[in-house]
Amino acid sequence: MGARARVAIVGGGIGGVSLAYHLTELGWTDVVVLEKGELTSGSTWHAAGLCTHFNASRNLTRLLADSIALYRSLETETGLPTGFREVGSIRLASTPDRMDEFRHAVGRAKVLGLPFELIGREEILERCPLLALDDVLGALWIPTDGYVDPSSVTNALAQVARDRGASIERHTRVTALSPRPGGGWDVETDRVALEAEIVVNAAGMWARQVGRMAGVELPIVPLAHQFLVTDAVSALANLPREIPVVRDPDRSFYVRAEGEGLLVGPFEPDPAAWSVDGVPWDFEQRLLPEDLARIEGVLALAADRVPAFGDVGIRSVVNGPDGYTPDGRCLMGWVPGVRDYFVLAGFSIFGIVFGGGAGRYAAEWIVDGHPSMDMWEVDVRRFGSYAAANPYLLAKALDVYGHEYAIHYPHQERPTGRPLKTDPLYDRLRERGAVMGFRFGWERPLWFAPPGVAPADDLTFRTPNWLEHVAAECRAVRERVGVLDQTSFGKYVVRGPDATSFLDRLCANALPTRDGRIVVTQMLDEHGGIECDLTLTRLGPERWYVVSAAATEVHDLAWIERHLPEDGGVTLENVTDRAGVLTLAGPRSREVLAALTDDDVSDAGFPYMTARRIRVGSVPDVLALRISYEGELGWELHHAVERLRNLYEHLLEAGEPLGLVDFGYRALDSLRLEKAYRLWGADIGPDFTPLEAGLERFIAFDKGDFIGREALLRQREEGISRTLACLVVETTDALPHGDEPVLDGDRVVGYVSAADRGHVVGATIALAYLPVELAEPGTGLAVEILGDRRAATVVRAPLYDPSGERLRA
């Protein structure tokens, strides 16, 4: 090992080694993997090795497909064994909702060109005769799934990385990290010290401890998972081919062949955490004592399903720990607030199947500055500090494990660990019937149950119970006025003598030159991908107020922070937790506001896209932004959060005689789709440019340079091949909710990025990226919802108030 390395990767499990493989593939060969034991001696060596393409996210499914493609080719490429067995997989469905979940998955797979298929009992038994299927309705068959030998794969990847120049240092424990003044790190180990430009924390369940060495708390906690291997099963011996991996999610276990026996793994409802306060450094190549009592309930269910399993003895039990995150997805990316420090850890029982692809996208992120596909769903910035502390972290991790095989419904909100962040209206809104949702730690209203209606979501893939109540909220906002608590917005103040020129370079839109003006703008990466979607208000020549979505509070803050000049000419302050926000929207919103303020709120006195500080009732210093994501006359009222309740009561008092209602985020979703407003994370993100997303009007090509301009100019010159179109879908019984395939004849031509019932326009609306030649209004297409083909027509967007008169009323 040299005294310097460009990249020092802490951890020689599948994650760290796959990263070394991919970094060296991209030409970065000055890479060292530091492993305190042997390679794979953490969680990797004892994994069951299952590799599936099944995932609820489109991009993560692609990542899994990348992993499996790599594992498929690795043995041929290297001549080294990987144990890859492409035996296919079967997921059994015993309930109609499970069948719906699989139908939705088949649709998503179609978009990606993956061969998912629904099969009946006969086909299930043909592939796996060992099963008793009395209560089974059908199954999902994925022929390209299988399993690997995790240690062999890791060692093969390590061998290639070594051959390309990486160095792999075993028995070398990183003991301390110190940032170097000019960037990079001094890395201390129990053997030697080295200097690295970049440190990658790929330390699996030790990642939290290795995070602390750099002063960060990462939300990763170890949980134990068990599987067992049986004695020989005679029924296996006479089969013409190996059985596929079978998962029975309704009974919460998986099974595959292992030698002459079976390997059976349960996900018990009451899992066990282990060593929550820190994993011993010398826990190497070790297992935990078996705990069959914890899993005997699930094993009994497994024996009913696979009678041969009940008839044989248990040869061995593996009880091993792995690092879990609060949502069961790994942490990837540059850690905010720490320079030159990247994380790739917390794979939560999926490290083997994620490892190959995750290493690829992490390597691109490090080498090119961004991954070639949006990694938001695993981006470390999706969590704030709220997620890294117990009991929340532990409760969520246990919950994720216990529900590993539960049905994942659209719009589902899990109650565990809540409430966490509440604003002063929380109890009051619940008293008024609010059904709350969770976003970035915050409780926020989704919809309001009228008196006599239970304030709870029914979970379904079809028509949800709240639809009619959300419809009523939408109509009230369009016809009268509504109030929505949006305190969870991310909010920052950017100030300093260079603040304006700094933001000008980051923003694709032209910044206002007068105080009190608002602009909606995207911030782009150098490739023109949409990194942030924000509202900026010019408070003064050196002072800007920036508002982003709740979910992207840390993401957007980190993006801006990363570009801050070193000379201190600009400062960035996160004021999210200090500012309350109430949105007042609807044609009568002006009357409500006028009744509470002496300030001029007429259109002439307070035009659209302007901001002023006003008094509202007894609440002073309310920064009112005349802007509306609902597409109506309206204001966002930003104010000191301790006056939130006070301001709300004023609005109720003045508004109720005018028909004011509470509305929630579900209504907002429907209203914004009627206006075809884009949502970051669904319709827009780094995978799309504003030209493709139909946001050209927000690009000020003439203003001079900004990040992404060159790429956009090139794209404008060359032309785009896909664009975000608005479709009206003929469906009443099942709503699309994202990822459904869009079909031209039998050809898949796109997918739905977001969809909802447009309650006021009376249509089901879907946004979808389509080839430009199919995006002309009037084009007849189809959307496949839960396996059924529904007619869809491209329409001119927005469907509601296309001239924008209502906003400017």
Ligand X SMILES: Cc1cc2nc3c(=O)[nH]c(=O)nc-3n(C[C@H](O)[C@H](O)[C@H](O)COP(=O)(O)OP(=O)(O)OC[C@H]3O[C@@H](n4cnc5c(N)ncnc54)[C@H](O)[C@@H]3O)c2cc1C
Residues forming the site for ligand X (CB under 6 A): 10-16, 34-37, 41-44, 46-50, 173-174, 202-206, 210, 225, 227, 318, 320-322, 345, 347, 349-353
List Cβ neighbours of 733 (8 Å cut-off, separation of 6 or more): 462, 463
Shortest CB 129 distance to ligand X, Å:
23
**DSSP for 627-644, written as a single string:** --SSSSSEEEEEEEGGGH
Calculate the alpha carbon distances from 96 to 402, 736, 750 in Å. 21, 18, 27
**In this structure, what token pair is assigned to residue 761?**
């326009």
Per the CB < 8 A criterion, the answer to whether 705 and 711 are in contact is no
Closest to ligand X by CB, 350 vs 751, is: 350
SS3 257: strand
- Alpha-carbon gap, residue 484 to 636, rounded angstroms: 9
Q: Of the two residues 187 and 557, which places its CB atom closer to ligand X in the complex?
A: 187
Measured from the CB atom, the residue of 323 and 631 that comes closer to ligand X is 323
CA distance 76 to 66: 16
Q: Which amino acid is at 72?
A: R
Compute the least distance from the CB of residue 43 to ligand X, in Å. Answer: 4
CB-wise, 47 or 584, nearer to ligand X? 47
Q: Where are the beta strands (DSSP E) in 144-266?
A: 146-147, 167-169, 174-179, 185-189, 193-201, 221-230, 245-248, 253-258, 261-266
Q: Provide the token pair at 123.
A: 């086909």
Tell me how far apart the alpha carbons of residues 265 and 294 are, in angstroms, rounded to a whole number: 12
Structure-token pair, residue 169:
């240092």
Q: Cα separation of 155 and 147, whole Å?
A: 16
Q: How far is the CB of 226 from ligand X (least distance, A)?
A: 6
CB of 74 to ligand X, least distance (A): 15
Cβ 65 to ligand X shortest distance, Å = 14
Return the HEC string of 19-66: HHHHHHHCCCCCEEEECCCCCCCCCHHHCCCEECCCCCCHHHHHHHHH
Strand partners of residue 619: 616
- Token pair belonging to 273: 């955490």
Q: Half-sphere exposure of residue 279, counting CA atoms within 13 Å on the CB side?
A: 29
Contacts 24+ apart (CB under 8 A), 277-283: 278/208, 278/209, 279/205, 279/206, 279/209, 279/222, 279/321, 281/36, 281/173, 281/206
Least distance to ligand X, CB of residue 310, Å? 22
Q: Please choose, from the candidates 676, 651, 670, 632, the residue with its C-alpha nearest in 3D space to the C-alpha of residue 473.
A: 670
Q: Based on CB atoms, which residue is closest to ligand X, 10 or 160?
A: 10
Burial of 543 per CB tally in 10 Å (0-12, 13-18, 19+): middle
Q: DSSP secondary structure string, 718-778?
A: H--SEEEEEEEE--SSS---S-PEEEETTEEEEEEEEEEEETTTTEEEEEEEEEGGG-STT
- How far apart are CB 50 and ligand X at their closest, in Å? 3
Nearer to ligand X, 185 or 466 (CB): 185
At its nearest, how many Å lie between ligand X and the CB of residue 284?
A: 6
Burial code (b: 16+ CB inside 10 Å, e: under 16) for 38-58 equals ebbbbbbbbbbbbbbbbbeeb
Determine the straight-line distance between the first and last CA of the chain, rounded to whole angstroms: 69
Q: Judge contact between 168 and 39, C-beta under 8 A.
A: yes
Q: In the complex, what is the shortest distance from the CB of residue 345 to ligand X, in angstroms, rounded to a whole number?
A: 5
Phi and psi at residue 596, to the nearest 5°? -115, 0
Q: What's the min distance (Å) between Cβ of 347 and ligand X?
A: 3
User: In terms of Cα–Cα distance, which of 697, 686, 765 is closest to 725?
Assistant: 765
Phi, psi of 798 (to 5 degrees): -85, 160
Q: How far is the CB of 218 from ligand X (least distance, A)?
A: 12
CB 402 to ligand X: min, Å: 15
Q: How far is the CB of 210 from ligand X (least distance, A)?
A: 5
Closest to ligand X by CB, 325 vs 583, is 325
Least separation in angstroms between residue 211's CB and ligand X is 11
Rank residues 91 and 639 by Cβ distance to ligand X and give the closer one: 91
Q: How far is the CB of 386 from ligand X (least distance, A)?
A: 23
Instruction: Output 318 or 768, the one with its CB closest to ligand X.
Output: 318
Alpha-carbon distance of 33 to 36, in angstroms, equals 10
